[in-house]
Chain A
Amino acid sequence: MSPEATSTTKIETTVELPVSSDSIMTKKGPQYWRSLDELLGKQEIDALVHREFPAQVSDVLDPVGRRNFLKVMGASMMLAGLSSCARQPDEKIVPYIKPPEYAVPGKANYYATAVAENGYGMGVVATSFEGRPTKYEGLREHPASLGATNATTQAAILDMYDPDRLDTVLNEGDISTWKSFITAVAKGLNGIDTKGGAGLRILSGTVTSPTFGWQFQRLQALYPEARWHQFTPLNKDNVKAGAELAFGRIVDQVIDFTQAAVVLSLDSNFLHEGPAAVRYARDYALSRDFENNGGRMSRLYALESSPTGTGAQADHRVTVRYPGVETFARTVAARLGIAGCEAAAGAVTGVSDAWLNAVVEDLQANRGKAIVVAGPQQPAAVHALAHAINAQTGAVEAGTISYIEPVEVQPTLHGASLASLVADMNSGAVQILVILGGNPVYDTPADINFADAMTKVALCAHLTSARNETTRLCHWAVPQNHSLECWSDIRAYDGTTSLIQPLILPLYAGKSAHDVLNVLLGEDEIDDLNTVQAAWMAKRGAEGFPAFWKQALATGIITGTASPKATVQHKLQFPAHVPVEKPAGLDIVFLPDPTIGDGARANNAWLQELPKPLTNLTWDNAVHINPRTARTLHLQHEDEVIVEFGGKEVKAAVMMQFGHPQNAITVHLGYGRTHCGAVGAGLGFNAYALQQSASPWFGTNASLRKTGNTYVLARTEEHYNIEQSQIEQGRKAADRHLVREAALDHFKEHPDFAQHVAHEPSEDFTLYDPAEKKYDGYNWGMSIDLNKCTGCGVCVVACQSENNTAVVGKDQVLLGREMQWIRVDRYYRAGDDGTFDGDVAAVHQPVPCMQCENAPCEPVCPVGATMHSEEGLNDMVYNRCVGTRYCANNCPYKVRRFNFFKYSDHGAEQLKMMRNPNVTVRSRGVMEKCTYCVQRINIARIDAKREGRDVREGEIVTACQAACPSTAIVFGNIADPNSAVARQKASKRNYGLIADVGTRPRTTYLAKLNNPSPALQTAHSGAADNSHQSEH
């Protein structure tokens, strides 16, 4: 009997049934009924309940509402009854009588689906254990993924199990029901349907879902006056405006970095940000893969107004003021002889003539293989110039850069769309506002008072995953389904469409955007599956639909859905250059946060604790400033300051950052949340409160005022005099040859340069019998190509997701107790001038456990909790560990992590469901560390054994390796000379990190190569010279 039946029957026992015992009596024969509703008929029971319980009608009548009421009655009951919290599905569910063949307890199933990020899709394979999704891997066939993912995708699994998710429909902050919501919306629509729906507005983020588009079309047919607005703070307005400027219409650009010989980045973080970043990182890595790329290697020039991870990868990087990027682009365009483009007067401060000449010559010399890519934060003119330069250098002609029809359902300029919505709201023209996702009260620029405008709307409804700043001001809040809980579809950066399929019933009474649109359409009985199917049926016809559907679900992509090529005509008209004067104050640059993005994911602890590339900052944002500028302003690192810009003030903390332009500050969006859940609320400061909608990414005349207080920032590095210690770290990294790198030319002459900079003891340099450690079977090893790593940090989150690694929080990070098993070390290198004031370079180095052959941790453990396995692994036995921490002390790589407290959340039921059942959840007092994903090794070994064969090359992929966009990490059996890892280790670039200690690490590195322009003498070539000297 269903729960509804039970409780309604209770009413029967306490209240005398008025009307119709006869309706029971009239029923004959064996009858089964699920509720009294069914048995007695709806009206009768309604009348009864109305009479008896006038105040709780909706709660009692609606099963979901009543259960939710009970749910909050007792906090402890809330989670205990988790399984019953889910809406009873309409589909049949029965226990397995004959279990399906694929459902083997303890064995994972994998489903292709997609994860949405800022409206664009990333194809993924979701791992599911007994119906619980636990992990995302990239979908190899998906163009945006190619098997890899980014950190935000990896962390998306945590979003679903986030205990702070909104779990019920809210009306004015009180618990309500989906049915009441439908009624309220219907009532609201009643008032406006005569006016063609005027006053109905939908606000969403970027939408690429074809089903959404189909639904909106139908809505438009129903209510011709209804309007759809789009706004997301990380919009591509400048990109779109640039395309309009260049071609007269919006088109999307797709870049083939594999063809690249020269890349000029104009303030673009293309390796880390944007819907194509994972793909671009892969392609870019290929273009740099000297050994496997026919001896070719691309060269990256980066012009930056604020340091990014992409800039850190550049062969030549200069920092300029934000407006200097446009000046530079104009100068380059003019030098390339592009019609209609006047060279800007004077040189760009910070860019030498030699640099400019080198760029121009390289662009000219590499016809068809030169790529200019502009950052979405740069104004439209820069994008238009980039398009023109790309056409001029033949990149478009050669297909290195192609233009496609827009992927978005309705490409609009978000800033304008939002402005018109707010204007209409303020004028009272908006009666019903349905906000699908997003958080406009928080993330709109400071001069747009969305909260005020909302008060003038009669009905505000918010589909949201958390009760955020906007939800609190809405009349209705509907819990939003995670993409693992609902059906939908989504397009990738190139238009390729994927179906999003649910792997689990909604944990709470969640709904999707399709459900809400169906309510507006008056079709609330249609669920999201039927909606998506109907949309596709309408799109492609019903013929062969089941096969199509099955195919699309199985492969994760719908073939032939990539956006068609767009024919474009370059208009070659550029707006007149308006030089931005340098006023007395500071320049201010706004950027999305490197891990949190626009702040929607602020409650995701994995992303919060992921050290941001370059700064290693966790759990906060900060005002980034060059140390030299800070000195002139008498500011110290971690000084609390009041940032004043455009008449707005915000309290923030100062963070020294090398490589930042002088007299400028960078603030990252996404922090300063007040309502998002226990994890993210109250962290950092809100940079949106400073943003101006006219120029959201840049401003002048900002100022900093010390408050006299200190605000401590948690970085995952030494917390002591940041400037001095980062310089010192960089120097020591060079002295100790931690990251070995050389210019390409040097490498061609001395291909084994990396193996001659430090003296490593030979393998037989030991008191023990070298034959003692012999491996007859597998012999696992890892190789990390520093030439490919871009420092994005996805490996860290992927490992965390795979290995149930705990988050520790800001306080513990400050104490140096972060638990991540793999970390990405960052070392700064002095700029060309030999100082750290100007254009410093940075190198990244992922460091997992080295699984040393002579592991210093092993002999010192008094209880033998860490032992060498027969396959070469340095195993960790949690049950045996007593926690002396001697192993961690004795580890030269400091990769061991100790549970100083009970860091793993053993309480939250949701998080229990999320964990990988094949990995122990560690408790207090034990040591842990990277195991090379030993659970994956074991699964593969068992499979192989059962099939009577050896584990195949490529069968075991560690979590970090799988996630890495640039394939920097390779794992495998080094006993097999044909394995990828053995081949990499045979490379002359192969070296062991501080192998001079005699540890014989199994994780080794491939030295980094740089490809500096011969015309420019840089620190890169200098670094190579140093290593050359120490070689002899």
Chain B
Amino acid sequence: MRSIIKYLKEIVMAVWSLLKGMKVTGYYFFQPNKIVTQKYPENRKNLVMFERFKGEVIMPHNEKNEHKCTGCGICEINCPNGTIEIISKSILTEDGKKKRAIDKHIYRLGMCTFCALCVKTCPSEALAFSQEFEHAVFNRALLIKVLNKPGSQLMKGVE
């Protein structure tokens, strides 16, 4: 007799534990406001990434097309996997001296691991992260970017 009661009790407890689980899923079924999925391409306009989000490395230019990069090459040294390559040139300054300046700041987005060492170690704060995250392209060559814009110059006062 006792074993029958135990048998029945087991069944009741088992069913009860199952019902508790069903309560959770049933609750969420009737709570459409708790849906967490975002409709991505539609919400592009009001999709704001966090300000520190590491999308890709950029070189901010001001309105006069000037940047802060002196071409010192510290970011190239600090990059762990050769993402950055700096091609420098020598230019003549106003007072006739020869000076090293940047020709091309090449950034290979496909190789970047977003460790932020280049941005952090840059002595003149010439690099920054943008919040852009839609990097997909059809041609891998497009992932090799030149960060300084054509015709841009070093900002005044940055050594």
A and B interact: no
B residues touching A (Cβ–Cβ < 8 Å)? none
A residues touching B (Cβ–Cβ < 8 Å)? none
